[in-house]
Amino acid sequence: MKRIISLLLVLVMAMASFAGCASDKPTEKTKEETTKEEVKKDTTKDKEEPVEVSEIRYAYWGDGNEDFVKAIVEAFEAKNPDVKVIIEALPWSEYWTKLEASAMGGAMPDVFIHHPKYIEQYVDNNLLVPVDDLNDIDPNFSLDNYPEATVAPFLFDGTAYGLPKDFDTIGLFYNKEIFDAAGVPYPDSTWDWDKLVEVAKQLTDKENDIYGYGAYITPQQGYYNTIMQAGGYLITPEGKSGAAMPETMAGMQYWVDMIYTHEVSPTPEQFADTEAKQMFASGKLAMMFAGSWNMNNFAQNEDIADKFDVAELPAGPAQKAVMTNSICFSIAKSTEELEAARRFVAFLASEESQSIEAAFGGAIPAFQGTASKWVETYSDYNAQIFIDSLEFAYPLPRTKNTNKWYSVVKDYARLIISNQVSVEEGCTKLNEEMEAILAEEQ
């Protein structure tokens, strides 16, 4: 019996030893199996190869735009995995200083938003790339995709150095709660200057620190509009200074009178303590002129969101008039990633991108047909007035050296609206300085 057991143990050990040898020895493969594995290895190798990614910098200004800028960049990167966009957001107050410094230092962002007031300087200094030849990227690309008024500010000798991003107009924002409490009907398109003063007086309640109107110091959202409504110009259609025109002075006088004659507006000193938009949001202003880009901030502000609406600006003694402006996307000539930058700008200016911005309620997008989507975003308000106002809109005044005389305009406007000089004296001196600056352009 013991012999039988011993033989069985030997047999088991021998089998185990064989099995061990078999597991250590490579299995012989057929030619077909070997080829499949090589193919599999090659495929794996292809998938693991890193994609060469181009990085581009995109600079813009504006508060409260982060969400839709990020959404647009993400949509672009999803379609262009070989491009990484670095977002650089700056406040308006710092944007142009830093952009100019980057231009001087040769470190401009690859793509950035531009303004009619500044773009000519950059074109003259050969700092921008033409962007009207993007059909190789988007077969549907055409400057006809945008209203002519939004393209014109960025055309120089027939070449576009910027593609329209959006446009804006100005409206009369009003606090419905203050109107309701006073039993006064809301503003409508029949209003004129006199009606605005009449109602502002009715709504002013200084005991409770409430003013009927806010005549704060602002050109585009303020006195530029009343100058045009009075029939005046800062820059005439012939490109000369219109600051000394009686109509221009009348437009400035209306703004000043709201503060010191009719006493329906806080003074510049009061606005220095609290900005007009903060006063409006906190229920201290019944009415104010403000740009369409403010819809997003007010509609998201729980203090004012369900209390405000907007109407057309009242007509002046000469006409209905409202300022309009558009901004654009430009490419720096210094970019080392031109192809990636061109693809990004083509996307930014596309219907898809501008529809994203419309859905977020940013500015009014420029691509034909997308403005209605922006209006739908603000269906609780009469936002359509910003679009309808284009019928009597005027572009911001500009010349080759806009930035030079613009700073002079702001300085004199501050003196005039602060009542430190009369309208006549301020406008006369402003005219002299503007004429000198404009003469340099000849």
User: Band of the pLDDT at 47, cuts 50, 70, 90?
Assistant: low
User: Band of the pLDDT at 266, cuts 50, 70, 90?
Assistant: very high
Alpha-carbon distance of 65 to 308, in angstroms, equals 21
Please compute the mean of the pLDDT values over residues 370-381 and round it to a whole number: 95
Helix, coil or strand: residue 421? coil
Q: Are 438 and 397 in contact (CB under 8 A)?
A: no
* 406, pLDDT greater than 80: yes
* 324, pLDDT greater than 80: yes
Q: What is the pLDDT of residue 85?
A: 98
Q: What is the pLDDT of residue 28?
A: 43
Alpha-carbon distance of 392 to 320, in angstroms, equals 6
Q: Write the DSSP symbol of residue 154.
A: G
Q: What is the pLDDT of residue 46?
A: 53
pLDDT tens profile 275-316: 999 999 999 999 999 999 999 999 999 999 999 999 999 999
Single pTM value for the model: 0.81
Q: Are 389 and 322 in contact (CB under 8 A)?
A: yes
Please compute the mean of the pLDDT values over residues 323-350 and round it to a whole number: 97
Q: What is the pLDDT of residue 38?
A: 44
Q: What is the pLDDT of residue 362?
A: 85
> What residue type is assigned to position 52 of the chain?
E
Q: Which residue has the higher pLDDT, 196 or 44?
A: 196
Non-local (6+) Cβ contacts of 171 within 8 A are 289, 290, 291, 292, 310, 311, 312, 313, 385, 386, 389
Q: What is the pLDDT of residue 39?
A: 41
Q: Write the DSSP symbol of residue 152.
A: G
* 30, pLDDT greater than 80: no
3-state helix, strand, coil in the chain (%, to 5): 50, 15, 35
**Nearest of 304, 345, 339 to residue 178 by alpha carbon:** 304
pLDDT tens profile 118-149: 999 899 999 999 999 999 999 999 999 998 88
* 25, pLDDT greater than 60: no
Which percentage of the chain shows pLDDT scores above 90?
81
* 58, pLDDT greater than 80: yes
Can you read off the two tokens belonging to residue 255? 């703004």
Residue 56 phi/psi, 5° resolution? -130, 150
Residue 191 phi/psi, 5° resolution? -65, 150
Q: What is the pLDDT of residue 24?
A: 38
Which percentage of the chain shows pLDDT scores above 70?
88
Alpha-carbon distance of 365 to 165, in angstroms, equals 6
Alpha-carbon distance of 374 to 384, in angstroms, equals 9
Q: What is the pLDDT of residue 36?
A: 41
Q: Write the DSSP symbol of residue 332.
A: B
Q: Are 162 and 119 in contact (CB under 8 A)?
A: yes
Non-local (6+) Cβ contacts of 312 within 8 A are 171, 172, 187, 188, 189, 191, 320, 322, 385, 388, 389
The secondary structure of 47-62 as a DSSP string is HHSPPP-EEEEEEEE-
* 7, pLDDT greater than 80: no
Of 190-199, 260-269, 386-395, least confident by mean pLDDT is: 386-395
Please compute the mean of the pLDDT values over residues 314-323 and round it to a whole number: 98
Q: What is the pLDDT of residue 20?
A: 37
Q: What is the pLDDT of residue 402?
A: 87
Alpha-carbon distance of 112 to 154, in angstroms, equals 14
* 16, pLDDT greater than 70: no
Task: List, in sequence order, every residue forming a beta bridge with 163; answer none if it has no partner.
Answer: 329
Q: What is the pLDDT of residue 10?
A: 40
Non-local (6+) Cβ contacts of 90 within 8 A are 59, 60, 61, 98
Q: What is the pLDDT of residue 51?
A: 77
Alpha-carbon distance of 193 to 405, in angstroms, equals 28
Residue 75 phi/psi, 5° resolution? -65, -40
